[in-house]
């Protein structure tokens, strides 16, 4: 009886871990989205620096 419970618990744990992982294509899509956000932030920061430099 105890081994059956242990096996069930291991299955539940494994399913929970697998649900949290991303597939290769999902990971690539997420990585590209984050990169696009960072590029936008960098462009905004460069524009702000350029505007401040023009004022002086």
Buried b (16+ CB within 10 A) or exposed e, 13-42: eeeeeeeeeeeeeeeeeeeeeeeeeeeeee
pLDDT at 18: 84
How many domains would you assign to the chain?
1
Give the separation between CA 8 and CA 15, rounded to whole angstroms. 11
Please determine, for residue 1, whether its predicted confidence score (pLDDT) is greater than 60: no
pTM of the model as a whole? 0.55
Give the separation between CA 38 and CA 46, rounded to whole angstroms. 12
Give per-residue pLDDT as tens, 16-56. 888 877 788 888 999 999 999 999 999 999 999 988 887 76
CA-to-CA dists, residue 46 to 34, 36, 43, 55, angstroms: 18, 15, 5, 14
Please determine, for residue 15, whether its predicted confidence score (pLDDT) is greater than 60: yes
DSSP-derived letter for residue 21 is S
pLDDT at 2: 60
Domain ranges, residue 10: 2-55
């Amino acid at each position: 009886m105890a081994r059956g419970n242990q096996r069930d618990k291991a299955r539940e744990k494994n399913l929970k871990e697998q649900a949290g992982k991303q597939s290769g294509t999902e990971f690539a899509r997420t990585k590209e989205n984050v990169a696009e956000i960072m590029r936008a932030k960098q462009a905004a920061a460069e524009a702000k620096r350029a505007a401040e430099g023009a004022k002086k």
